[in-house]
Amino acid sequence: MKTAMQNAEMQKVADMLKDIKFAMLTSVGNDGRLRSRPMTTIDISPDGSLWFFTDEHSEKTNDLSTHPQVNVAYSDIKNDTYVSVTGRASVSQDRQQMETHWSPMLKAWFPKGLDDPNIALLKVEIESAEFWDVKSSKMTQLFDMLKAAATGTCADDHMDTDHKEIKVM
């Protein structure tokens, strides 16, 4: 059961992710190698799960049946926000969820729309998340990097960054 602090921290993560649509989903292939694929997040549910549309019979979903542990990495360079999520992935046929989040843009991947027999949802139940939210302006960051290089210190020691790791499960 999540504590009130975990709920608040997960809300911060959800707020950070709401404007970052693209992510890299990393899974373990059946050959044991890590594989990363670009994905578009369609929803972050109140329970802290990430949702994506996928092809039910893809290599990715095949990998997940054997190795459900995944990482989802988000990067918002413009706002200097970075989030890494670890969780367990599963494939869902939740028709109501599909109808709620369907967008005509998805026809590029699913030409038959919701009538595509292979369409499915990929759900990632978040187990932990780590984020970096840089507060400094680009100019301040540059100055901090130059200062670190000149003094032989680490740039991270000078930057105003909100960094936290959250364990959910």
4-135+161-167 CATH fold: Pnp Oxidase; Chain A (2.30.110)
Tokens of 127: 């187990």
Position 39 pLDDT exceeds 90: yes
Kindly report the CA angle at 56 between 55 and 57, in degrees rounded to 5? 90
Of 76, 92, 80, which Cα lies nearest the Cα of 136? 80
Q: What is the chain written as a DSSP string?
A: ---HHHHHHHHHHHHHHTT--EEEEEEE-TTS-EEEEEEE--EE-TTSEEEEEEETTSHHHHHHHH--EEEEEEEETTTTEEEEEEEEEEEE--HHHHHHH--GGGGGT-TTGGG-TTEEEEEEEEEEEEEEEE-S-HHHHHHHHHHHHHHT--GGGTS-EEEEEEE--
Position 140 pLDDT exceeds 60: no
At 40-61, the pLDDT tens digits run 999 998 778 999 999 999 999 9
- The whole-model pTM stands at 0.78
Yes or no: say if 44 and 100 are a contact pair by the CB < 8 Å rule.
Answer: no
Confidence of residue 134 (pLDDT cuts 50, 70, 90): confident
Q: What are phi and psi of 97, to 5 degrees?
A: -65, -40
At 10-33, the pLDDT tens digits run 787 888 888 898 999 999 998 999
Alpha carbons 29 and 38: distance in angstroms, whole number: 15
